[in-house]
Chain A
């Protein structure tokens, strides 16, 4: 089954404790991306990657790191989480098309609470 998986689905942590949210896709997609969703602000892009070893900042990259060492995986790293990073996080992947990123496939979301 074609899918994007994220782990964990729910996470409660404390300020400053490094964490990683994993994202994996099995569709051989070139484009992968991380988003956060907050009430009143909607979805905002954190980082994206157009292929292995190619990553770019989105709208809100501060406090986050990513890497794309393999095509299928795109982990999101919070080196020193803070309460303002409490949010719902989505990973997505899409094939590459003539106009850029194609139809996106979203993971189920990771709900993060930073105390």
Chain B
């Protein structure tokens, strides 16, 4: 069965802390995407990964294909990072259909 799980569901951090959000999936994937949904509801794509690691500013995304696991790290967190972070994958057995984790709600306190 094609499943995507995220942890934690909710996360509260102090400004400046290092944050990790995890995503696990059940079977082989073509690609994994990390999305950010702002409190106003808009969704922005942060990363697309099929292997290895990507970095953009204070955000780092890694993926371990063998372990079927990806992590999103935020270094030196800031209140403006407060958002819901969503993991999405396309599985190799279902072509171009997207499956989503239920999201991690992050609050960064000044």
Contact = CB atoms under 8 A, between A and B. Distances in A.
**Real binding pair:** yes
A81 interface: no
Interface in B32-88: 33, 35, 41-45, 48, 50, 86, 88
Majority secondary structure, B binding face:
strand
Interface stretch (A11-19, A37-45, A67-75): A37-45
A92 B88 CA distance: 13
Contact of B96 (A48, A59, A92, A105): A48
17 contacts: A35-B98, A40-B102, A42-B101, A42-B103, A43-B88, A56-B95, A97-B31, A99-B31, A99-B50, A100-B30, A100-B31, A101-B31, A101-B90, A101-B96, A101-B98, A106-B43, A108-B41
Most A Cβ at <10 Å: residue of B90, B98, B100? B98
Interface residues of B, number: 23
Contact of A105 (B41, B45, B86, B88): B45
Interface in B92-110: 95-103
Interface in A97-112: 97, 99-106, 108-109
Contacts of B98: 33, 35, 43, 45, 48, 58, 101
B48 A102 contact: yes
Interface residues of A, number: 28
Contacts of A108: 41-42
Nearest to B33: A104
A31 B96 contact: yes
A100 B96 contact: yes
A15 to B, nearest CB: 25
